[in-house]
């Protein structure tokens, strides 16, 4: 952690103007937050999400390698981080040097011009149900939203309150496509409102249910390649029985007593791992990384995956192993 004394440093929270202070090579504004890239020594590049709050900037690597927290008060800036120590310390030191070199002059000549986003929103569509997922990391937003949409009828509206940029930018639009929903996104300041309007109710998973309940392993290995089947797994295995946090996903993590779906992802959703297991027997596995997908043995060969991640273990509520 590092603290820097500076008069009225809140001016520097304008990420769109001063992103280079924070070692960001470029940024792209999203529906909520920003996407950017940090480059170290022209050798290491990290894709990141950036979240600007009322008095803080959070920068986190999509693949879970690090998190950087920059906190602003009336007379100082505090910079801290978690993750790979070498990377974290390097980024913190570079940010501190940039602020020491340029921060005072920016504040002096620009002045304090920061104000909080207006959070008043008039919805065109009134939700039938509200799902509050603020504070949750991937893959929970995907799991919970799919479970809720499966139970909703045609024409119903679901509002999801969410503060995870990866879910807003990638996961929830994918869920909307899979479940044939129109969606609207509203920036609420510290979080986003993601509104689903369900267009039809024709999606059924009768064949999937039979295959999973009868544990037809060969068919499951093929079905895991379908995004719809992965969506079904998160609805059929509807109870999260355990959650773990790890600094890497290892083969040893892909085991659990009884019939279980295992889902793992870093907070930035740089990758998503899904597996159906029965004890030590890994029935099927899938790894989605950016625009590539790997299945079964090919997915398992890519373990371990470095970076902080959340691992969830899910079971079917009515099933007894």
Output the pLDDT for position 75: 87
Tokens of 135: 């504070």
Per-residue pLDDT of the chain (321 residues; tens, 9 = 90+): 899 888 878 888 889 999 999 999 989 999 889 999 998 877 789 999 999 988 999 999 999 999 999 999 988 999 999 999 999 999 999 999 999 988 877 766 554 443 444 444 444 567 899 999 999 887 788 888 988 888 888 889 999 999 998 889 888 998 898 888 999 998 887 889 999 999 876 556 668 999 999 999 999 999 999 988 988 888 889 888 999 999 999 999 999 999 999 999 998 889 999 999 999 999 999 999 988 999 999 999 999 999 999 999 999 987 555
Output the pLDDT for position 235: 80
Give the closest residue to 64 by CA, choosing from 172, 138, 145: 138
Alpha carbons 68 and 21: distance in angstroms, whole number: 13
Alpha carbons 120 and 108: distance in angstroms, whole number: 32
CA distances from 83 to 18, 63, 246, 263, 304 (A): 24, 11, 11, 21, 17
Output the pLDDT for position 42: 73
Query: Are the CB atoms for 182 and 200 separated by under 8 Å?
Result: no
pTM: 0.81
Pick the CATH number of 2-115 from 3.30.530, 3.30.70, 3.30.390, 3.10.450: 3.30.530
Alpha carbons 176 and 237: distance in angstroms, whole number: 20
Output the pLDDT for position 121: 45
Output the pLDDT for position 62: 94
Pick the CATH number of 129-198 from 2.60.40.10, 3.30.110.40, 3.90.1010.10, 3.30.70.3000: 3.30.110.40
Residue 216's contacts (CB-CB under 8 Å, 6 or more residues apart) are: none
Phi, psi dihedrals of residue 318, rounded to the nearest 5°:
-90, -5
Q: Cβ atoms within 10 A of the Cβ of 219, count?
A: 17
Alpha carbons 126 and 113: distance in angstroms, whole number: 35
Alpha carbons 179 and 199: distance in angstroms, whole number: 8
Give the closest residue to 148 by CA, choosing from 163, 129, 135, 161: 129
- H or E element: which one contains 148? helix 140-150
Output the pLDDT for position 118: 43
Secondary structure class of 12 (helix, strand, coil): helix
> Structural domain boundaries of the chain?
2-115, 129-198, 214-315
Give the closest residue to 145 by CA, choosing from 156, 158, 134, 136: 158
């Amino acid at each position: 952690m590092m603290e820097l004394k500076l008069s009225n440093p809140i001016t520097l929270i304008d990420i769109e103007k001063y992103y280079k202070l924070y070692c960001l090579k470029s940024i792209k504004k999203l529906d909520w937050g920003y996407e950017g890239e940090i480059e170290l020594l022209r050798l290491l590049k990290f894709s990141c999400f950036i979240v600007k709050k009322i008095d803080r900037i959070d920068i986190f690597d999509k693949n879970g390698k690090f998190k950087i927290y920059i906190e602003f008060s009336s007379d100082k800036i505090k910079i801290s981080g978690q993750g790979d120590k070498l990377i974290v310390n390097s980024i913190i030191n570079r940010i501190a040097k940039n602020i020491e070199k340029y921060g005072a002059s920016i504040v002096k000549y620009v002045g304090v011009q920061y104000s909080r986003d207006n959070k008043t929103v008039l919805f065109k569509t009134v939700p039938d149900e509200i799902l509050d997922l603020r504070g949750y990391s991937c893959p929970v937003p995907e799991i919970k939203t799919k479970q809720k949409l499966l139970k909703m009828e045609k024409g119903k509206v679901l509002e999801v309150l969410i503060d995870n940029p990866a879910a807003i930018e990638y996961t929830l639009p994918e869920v909307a496509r899979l479940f044939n929903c129109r969606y609207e996104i509203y920036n609420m300041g510290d979080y986003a409102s993601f509104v689903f309007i369900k267009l039809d109710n024709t999606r059924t998973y009768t064949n999937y249910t039979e295959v999973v309940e009868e544990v037809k392993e060969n068919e499951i290995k093929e079905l895991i390649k379908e995004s719809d089947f992965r969506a079904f797994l998160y609805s059929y295995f509807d109870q999260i029985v355990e959650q773990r946090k790890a600094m890497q996903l290892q083969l040893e993590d892909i085991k659990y007593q009884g019939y279980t779906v295992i889902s793992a992802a870093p907070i930035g959703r740089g990758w998503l791992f899904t597996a159906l297991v029965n004890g030590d027997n890994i029935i099927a596995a899938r790894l989605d990384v950016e625009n590539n997908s790997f299945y079964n043995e090919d997915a398992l060969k890519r373990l371990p995956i470095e970076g902080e991640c959340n691992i969830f273990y899910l079971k079917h509520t009515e099933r007894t192993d």
